[in-house]
Amino acid sequence: MMKQLSGLLLICISLILVGCAPRQPAIMLPNNQVTTWPLRQQALMRINNWQINGAVAIRTPQKALSASINWLQQGACCYQLHLFGPLDIGAISLIGSSYEIILKESNGKIYTASNPEQLLQTQLGWQLPLTNLYYWVRGLPAPGISATTTFDKFNHLSSLQQQGWQINYLSYTSVGKNDLPSKIFMQNGAISVRLIISQWQL
């Protein structure tokens, strides 16, 4: 059971996480909106609430796992991340607020911590910067942390190195007036994560 939980928690890494009702479905259009990076960055920083549907795959030296994902986000602190699919213990939910993080399994088991990094530390014995994924999933570097960035001809973030992670943005899709990532590949040593976003709702 602990190995299964560890694998599922690693999936959570790929994604940090979530909690508000969507208001507008994504419109999938070519990602050719031309603007400067400062203007694009300002627009992306204003997106604080979303719902993401898609799939995530993670590979570690011990195993490879995959699951469908539904991620609701409200601000930097409040979220609900639901993972489901071909998982031995069924669906799991990661629920975050400014007070605590709750991990719920479909078998009724519940684990809590004061932050997602602490939850991983408790369950797996090491930490990962889950909080940064709140920025990374939008195609933004996490603020206040040293980063190396490259951009494509439309001034989308195409690659990011931050806190030991190499993040490559393989494609974007237009959602209203914003271009948002639809394929993200992340790697830190022997751990790799692929996130495919089939739908954004803002």
pLDDT along the chain (202 residues), means of 10: 50 44 42 82 95 89 83 92 70 86 85 80 60 94 96 94 96 91 94 93 95
What's the residue count for the chain? Answer: 202
Beta bridge partners of 159: 150, 168
Domain count, the chain: 1
Read off the tokens for 111. 């684990």
Q: How many CB atoms lie within 10 A of CB 61?
A: 7
Which residue, 144, 85, 159, 108, is CA-closest to 1?
108
State pTM to two decimals. 0.81
Q: What is the pLDDT of residue 170?
A: 95
CATH number of the domain where residue 126 is located: 2.50.20.10
Enclosing domain of residue 104: 2-201
- The amino acid sitting at 157 is L
The C-alpha atoms of residue 67 and residue 71 are separated, in whole angstroms, by 12
Q: What's the pLDDT score for residue 155? A: 93
In which element (H, E) is residue 122 found? helix 116-124
